[in-house]
Homo-oligomer: A and B are copies of this chain.
Amino acid sequence: MGKVIGLRCITCGRIYPPDTGIFTCPECGPYNGTLEVIYDYEGLKKRLNRENWVVPSLPGHYRYIHLLPFEDTNLISPLEVGNTPLIKSHTLEQKYKSKGIYLKDDTRNATLSYKDRASSIALIKAREEGSKGIIVASTGNAASSMAGFGASVGMPVHVLVPKSIPEGKLLQLLLFKANVVMIDGIYDTCFDISIKVAKETGLYLRSTAVNPYLSEGKKTSAFEIAEQLRYNLPDYVFVPVGDGCIIESVYKGFKELKLLGLTNTVPRIIGVQAKNSAPLLKAFENNSQKIEFIENPETVADSISVGIPRDGIKALKAVRDSDGFFVGVSDEEILFAIRELAEDTGLFVEPAAAAAFAGFKRSLKERRIPVNSTSVILLTGNGLKDPKAIRNIVKKDVPVLSSDDLDGVIKAIER
């Protein structure tokens, strides 16, 4: 393993060796005892600088291999991950009097979501262990992502998803030949079952939070943002939050850059939750360490419809340590944000991704962030993954004209 020193419990700080197969701290339990991968930062700091910390000969996000938990590049999937555009939108900057609005377009990963960053690393770890297959509980994106990466190297993938999974994600799963089991329940239930099934079957577990290696893939967007902005980090980074894994990973990425002396600051990390699926927002507003779970999370943004945020502790810590905050947005704001992004930027995103933009707008409106600041907004999934959500917000009355009605066509064009 070389550069990885161990897995540190987020609560008690105990450090476990990386190769014992344990995924959460036995002392603190599966919820409080999530682990984080720690590297020999002192050693890395001595060796790495802005000129050599990236390995340009490796594709996509694997070029950050010095800060990734694997060595054998033969285990990398041929599907490319990361290296996604950071789009500066003049239109939005003018509209919101902002010094910089950057949209990190992770809808352009291999399976059209941010989750590819994690699946790519999970695949490597499963292959390292010689696993016979992988199991994952998911709202949809993590599963379709894992299924695609499994397919790319012939690794069987089993998934547990709520039966309400959006159509695009299900089609991806089925086409990638995943073994799909739908659960008549919500995502939180699928998650609990996945832990039990992994134990019974010996399948490699790619459910979030309980597998610390997923964060390692997910943190790479922070590295890309730093590179793309030539180390002039933004003031704020807006992240949609369900389980909390993406937000804590993004924070970890920025923190590691600072630890290595590659940057001087860490942006304020802003968590955006859907109002009726917002246990972390509530804990943050109550200034509490305790996260109260929600039994029936409800939002149009299926990817962040989570009542039991499995990475809640890390997520709260990321927001607090970075001097950020949580903000809640309504389904109406989310749907409006989908349209606004499409119409003003040409980006076509799923509800959870739009939530991040809606959170940015609300933060500005409530003056929680100043005008003339710089923000990165993480766009985590493509709109075609959830056609139903889009179908509900576009106009329906498209004229159908006869091919010999040129006058009618010109009238329709000029209307």
Contacts and interface: CB of A to CB of B under 8 A. Distances in A.
A401 B168 contact: no
Interface size, A (range): 35 or more
Interface string A78-101: 111000010111110000000000
B387 A171 contact: yes
Contacts of A179: 412-413, 415
Contacts of A368: none
Contacts of A174: 394-395, 398
Interface in A369-392: 382-385, 387, 390-391
A151 B410 contact: no
Nearest to A402: B184
Interface in A164-200: 167-168, 170-172, 174-177, 179-185, 189-190, 193, 196-197, 200
Given A171-B384, A338-B175, A346 B201 contact: no
Contact of A77 (B200, B346, B385, B387): B346
A409 interface: yes
A78 B90 contact: yes
A22 interface: no
A112 B79 contact: no
A346 B149 contact: yes
Contacts of A413: 135, 158, 179, 181, 197, 201, 203
A277 interface: no
Given A85-B59, A391-B171, A346 B176 contact: yes
A338 B176 CA distance: 10
Contact of A182 (B105, B382, B390, B401): B401
A346 B151 contact: yes
Contact of A108 (B110, B151, B201): B110
Given A181-B412, A384-B112, A395-B174, A342 B151 contact: yes
A346 B146 CA distance: 10
Contacts of A345: 78-79, 151-152
A143 to B, nearest CB: 12
**Those 7 A-B pairs whose CB atoms lie nearest each other, nearest first:** A152-B346, A174-B394, A148-B346, A384-B384, A185-B403, A80-B85, A151-B346
Given A168-B387, A197-B410, 7 more contacts: A78-B89, A80-B85, A108-B109, A108-B110, A163-B400, A171-B383, A184-B403
16 contacts: A60-B85, A80-B87, A91-B152, A108-B110, A111-B346, A111-B348, A112-B112, A148-B342, A150-B346, A181-B398, A181-B413, A183-B402, A185-B402, A185-B403, A201-B413, A384-B385
